[in-house]
Chain A
Amino acid sequence: MSLPKAFQLLRFTTYVAPRRLISATACTYGIKSRWQMPYRVTLKNRMKEMEKKGLLPTNARSDFIEWNYDSEIYAFGKRLHEEFDESLLRQALIDPSYITRETLRQQELGVEVPALQMSGNSELSTEGKDIIFDYATKFVRATHRVLPEEGVSALVDYLTSEELLSEIGHGIGLKDLILTEEYPPSQVTVVNAFQSVVAVLNRSSGLSRCHIFVKDFVLTQLVGKNIYDIWKIEDPVSILSNILLQNGREAFEPRLVFQSGKNTIQAVYQVAVYCEKQFMGTGMKWYGETVNAAVEQAAWDALSRLFQTTEAVSPIPFEKPEQLNLNDNKNMPIDNWSIDRASNIVMC
């Protein structure tokens, strides 16, 4: 049903209601015109969008009036239960970009030769990076002695990756402490600062203390992670057959050990691989999936049993790192992986 033209127009004209018909709130504040609400909604949505895109300016924490850099530096060490050399720590938190900006600013203000008594953290950063890499490699080798060297390097790459280190840097509160050009500081900046903090700890408290720090903050990130999510094994079948071949064993044999609901869409098949009548690992297949996929999973399972990385292995001994045998010996590479040598290695 369509209203006459005059009535349609009337909908948009302001209509002042008699007093007894409008609510108390409206009486007090007046009736807002109808364009106000959509206008505010639009503004709010625009604000949300800008916030999502990161277009809104964010104030650095140090811009606020309640900010004392000396106290922050003091609390930083206390919070981590470490004794830092204060001047070194301050240097570790200065990004080179900050010095460039300060120099430019002083030149703009008319200082001919800016005298800045500060140096950036680039040198410390490389030092810290080496310490983290070195210790992480030794530690992962010592805790996963049967894991092929490829797996070790994948784990170490993960531990020293930019994403993880910057996350740790944020987690110990570096975000507000770093002196840098941009805010919030970029990933690289935070990583550099974190590595520099490690180097500072090495210089002020010694290498052993520094190793404990790396263990507590970096290596503990392995907890709760699946190794094979980090180290992707591309072709487990060929790797397993290669290992068996290298060790003079027979080729493995997949068998169907269990099935249920064969003619239904929820069919379940359990496949196991056997080598010389010895069980090696299991895989699964379901309706619509090929047998090869199940064999691949079974091979993967067999590999994880060989490399002693199943969920049943004992947790990494973070509490007793002194029991670990840290040395420079490399683990066996995957192309030359020996079952007999692996069985001689006793994990603590």
Chain B
Amino acid sequence: MSAIRRVQQWATFGRMWYLYDAKWQNPFDSADKIKEYISGTHKPIYHPLNDCGDHVVVINSRHIALPGMEWERRVYFHHTGYPGGASWTLAWELHRKDPTLVVRKAVYSKLDKNLLRRGKMARLHIFADDEVPNSILENLSGQIRQLRAVPKRLDHYTDEEIKSFPRIFDWPKDYVIPN
């Protein structure tokens, strides 16, 4: 193989590093997106025998948003293997123990169930907050777009913005707003 072909190969199969901000995102929908990147299906060169998956760095996994009643209703099952070793953990409990685990388990369960699964998971780096080591930040070469807009809380708006916001009707001047 000539030097040029070798370079070509390296360029085509070069590993990209993507950042994903999980703030206010549904982890299960996000897992569908992340799965494409870590297994390489988003590339036109994808083939099941190709090892062309990219790295994904997920930040703010502590601030994910589960839909509906999922925090209370979703149950993670684990069995130690010993009699009486079964345990059921609610999503909010799991999240309190380790804020990266909900995302990790969501992605892990979305991946194909074969021997490549652990290797693909090794390319997923999850951080609870936006404090990422510099050595990992330097690797980044792109960012995955979020799936839904991050809502802005009322206390994050300035007073001016709140005042200028259109109102459908005005309260009577003598009306007392109960707190």
Q: Measuring CB to CB, which residues of chain A are less than 8 angstroms from any residue of chain B?
A: 226, 228-229, 258-264, 266, 268, 270, 283-284, 286, 297, 300
Rounded to whole Å, the gap between the CB of A217 and the closest CB of chain B is: 26
Q: Measuring CB to CB, which residues of chain B are less than 8 angstroms from any residue of chain A?
A: 2-4, 7, 10-11, 14-17, 55, 135-136, 138-141
Given contacts A270-B11, A284-B11, A261 and B139 within 8 Å (CB-CB): yes
Chain A residues with CB under 8 A of B136:
263
Q: Pick the residue among A263, A266, A297 that contacts B3 (CB under 8 A).
A: A297
Given contacts A270-B11, A284-B10, A260 and B16 within 8 Å (CB-CB): yes
9 nearest CB pairs, A to B = A260-B141, A268-B14, A284-B7, A266-B15, A262-B138, A261-B139, A263-B135, A260-B16, A284-B11
**Complex contact B138–A300 (CB within 8 A):** no
**10 residue pairs from A and B, CB less than 8 Å apart:** A228-B4, A260-B17, A262-B138, A263-B136, A264-B139, A268-B11, A270-B11, A284-B10, A286-B10, A297-B3
Question: Once the chains are docked, how many angstroms separate the CA of A297 from the CA of B5?
Answer: 11
Given contacts A283-B7, A284-B7, A260 and B138 within 8 Å (CB-CB): no
Question: Once the chains are docked, how many angstroms separate the CA of A33 from the CA of B140?
Answer: 72
**Complex contact A261–B15 (CB within 8 A):** yes
Rounded to whole Å, the gap between the CB of B51 and the closest CB of chain A is: 11
Chain B residues with CB under 8 A of A226:
2, 4
Nearest residue in B to A296 (C-beta to C-beta)? B3
Given contacts A229-B2, A297-B3, A297-B4, A260 and B11 within 8 Å (CB-CB): no
Q: Pick the residue among A229, A263, A268 that contacts B10 (CB under 8 A).
A: A268
**Complex contact B7–A260 (CB within 8 A):** no
Q: How many A-B residue pairs have CB under 8 A?
A: 45
Q: Pick the residue among B2, B16, B55, B138 that contacts A228 (CB under 8 A).
A: B2
Question: Once the chains are docked, how many angstroms separate the CA of A331 from the CA of B120?
Answer: 54
Nearest residue in A to B6 (C-beta to C-beta)? A284
Rounded to whole Å, the gap between the CB of B31 and the closest CB of chain A is: 23
Given contacts A258-B141, A284-B10, A264 and B15 within 8 Å (CB-CB): yes
Rounded to whole Å, the gap between the CB of A54 and the closest CB of chain B is: 30
Question: Once the chains are docked, how many angstroms separate the CA of A229 from the CA of B7?
Answer: 15
Nearest residue in B to A258 (C-beta to C-beta)? B141
Given contacts A268-B10, A284-B10, A286-B10, A260 and B15 within 8 Å (CB-CB): yes
Rounded to whole Å, the gap between the CB of A187 and the closest CB of chain B is: 25
Question: Once the chains are docked, how many angstroms separate the CA of A284 from the CA of B55?
Answer: 20
Rounded to whole Å, the gap between the CB of B52 and the closest CB of chain A is: 12
Chain B residues with CB under 8 A of A262:
138-139
Question: Once the chains are docked, how many angstroms separate the CA of A298 from the CA of B18?
Answer: 27
Question: Once the chains are docked, how many angstroms separate the CA of A229 from the CA of B5?
Answer: 11
**Complex contact B15–A268 (CB within 8 A):** yes
**Complex contact A266–B14 (CB within 8 A):** yes
Chain B residues with CB under 8 A of A286:
10
**Complex contact B17–A261 (CB within 8 A):** yes
**Complex contact A263–B7 (CB within 8 A):** no
Question: Once the chains are docked, how many angstroms separate the CA of A300 from the CA of B6?
Answer: 14
**Complex contact B138–A263 (CB within 8 A):** yes
Question: Once the chains are docked, how many angstroms separate the CA of A270 from the CA of B12?
Answer: 12
Rounded to whole Å, the gap between the CB of B172 and the closest CB of chain A is: 62
Question: Once the chains are docked, how many angstroms separate the CA of A263 from the CA of B17?
Answer: 11
